[in-house]
Amino acid sequence: MFTGMTVVEAAAFGAPSCVQRGDSVGCCALLSETGGEFVPADWTDEKNSIDSIANAVEGYLRAGWDGARRGGGGGDDDDDSLRAIGARARRRAVGWDLLASGREIAKILTRAVRGESFAQSRWTLPDATEQKRLAPLWRAASIAVWCDGAWRMIRSDDDGGGGGEAGPGVRSFDDDDGFSKRRAPVLPAGTYVIVTAHNPMGARADPAANDSAARALAASVRDMRPSPAAVLPTLSIDPGEGGFDAWNEPGVAAMLPETDPGAARTALIRLARRHGQAAVYELTCAPDGRMRIGVTPVFPGLEGLACGGVAAAGASPPASMPRSPP
């Protein structure tokens, strides 16, 4: 089922469901994998999908209805048992009342008034060979974030090893915990999801189409609920010698709110998918200045692009950078 209303209806009675991971099923507009509101499985591999589903379900059934905790803080959000998954799903489903539904309808009407297109574009996802080529480019992040009237340049450990010497102008890294060394903060502490609407699937798009997509993305982020704690303009830059002049994509860095960060993260990933992006960056900034950046694919089947997180540090922006966000 593409919509999966049965999943939501079951959730209203506290019954957990097994759902394709990656938010590709319609019910994921309400229930989220990151929020622990269903049992995720990968149904996309024709050879192994049956085993994947069976293993996911069997693991939970063997653990029993009350299961074992994940070893977290012991609260309900750390409980990975079927009972807890069903309870979280029920809270989400029952919370989808007439008011919540009305708000979503209002968003659709607002998009119509703005003249935004509702056509579903189709993109060709990179195959395994192309993902292998693209993964190092995604991992070698080079992102400028506009904060307090200046560009703050952030780069990842571009050798792909999580340690060693950093690239030109980049500070050194620690590889013991995946964070960079302690130093003056580059950005306010928090977790940011960095997303762009330019050049779907990495193919250069018409400038007018890019500008239109960027405006639609900005409006969607502004209307998000829960709202991001902060939204900062960004420029993703070619990490190679060509730098800004070779490739640059405007976007936003949305700081996840303290209240329901999982829902905000899911909404941002869904926006990236709507605009045909292969992945988003997730940047974590600690209060002591340490940073870590990872790559999160937004479509099922693009797991070859994933990077759980490498150390990141500040750097000097290229001389060719614009003086302010475009």
pLDDT digits (tens, 9 = 90+) for 25-73: 778 878 887 778 888 877 766 666 788 788 878 888 887 777 654 433 3
Give yes or no: residues 187 and 302 share one domain.
yes
Task: Please state, for a pLDDT cut of 90, what percent of the chain lies above it.
Answer: 23
Total-model pTM: 0.60
Task: Give CA–CA dist 126/124, Å, rounded.
Answer: 6
**Domain total for the chain?**
2
- Establish how many alpha carbons lie within 13 A of residue 168's alpha carbon, considering only the half-sphere containing its beta carbon: 6
Residue 101 lies inside a defined structural domain of this protein:
no
Give yes or no: residues 257 and 133 share one domain.
yes
pLDDT digits (tens, 9 = 90+) for 139-156: 887 899 999 998 888 888
Task: Give CA–CA dist 281/269, Å, rounded.
Answer: 10
Give yes or no: residues 178 and 231 share one domain.
yes
Give yes or no: residues 165 and 205 share one domain.
yes
177, pLDDT greater than 60: no
Residue 30 lies inside a defined structural domain of this protein:
yes
| Contact present, 171 and 186 (Cβ < 8 Å) | no
- Tokens encoding 44: 């996309």
pLDDT number for residue 112? 79
Give yes or no: residues 154 and 284 share one domain.
yes
pLDDT digits (tens, 9 = 90+) for 278-326: 999 999 999 988 899 999 999 888 889 998 878 887 777 776 777 788 7
Give yes or no: residues 83 and 170 share one domain.
no
Residue 192 lies inside a defined structural domain of this protein:
yes
Task: Give CA–CA dist 45/314, Å, rounded.
Answer: 40
- 117 or 168: which carries more pLDDT confidence? 117
Q: Kindly report the length of the chain.
A: 326
pLDDT number for residue 71? 37
What residue type is 143 in one-letter code?
A: I
Chain-centroid distance, C-alpha 124: 20
Give yes or no: residues 179 and 242 share one domain.
yes
pLDDT digits (tens, 9 = 90+) for 70-119: 433 334 455 678 888 999 999 989 988 888 889 888 988 887 787 765 55
| Residue that finishes a domain, picked among 52, 74, 96 | 96
| Residue that finishes a domain, picked among 74, 96, 118 | 96
- Residue 193 — very low, low, confident or very high, per pLDDT cuts 50/70/90? very high
Give yes or no: residues 83 and 136 share one domain.
no
172, pLDDT greater than 70: no
List, as one string, the DSSP characters of 104-173: HHHHHHHHHHTT------------HHHHHHHHHHHHS-EEEEEETTEEEEEEE-TTSSSSS---TT---B
Give yes or no: residues 136 and 253 share one domain.
yes
For helices 261-274 and 207-222, give the axis angle rounded to 10 degrees.
160
Residue 75's domain comprises 5-96
pLDDT number for residue 117? 58
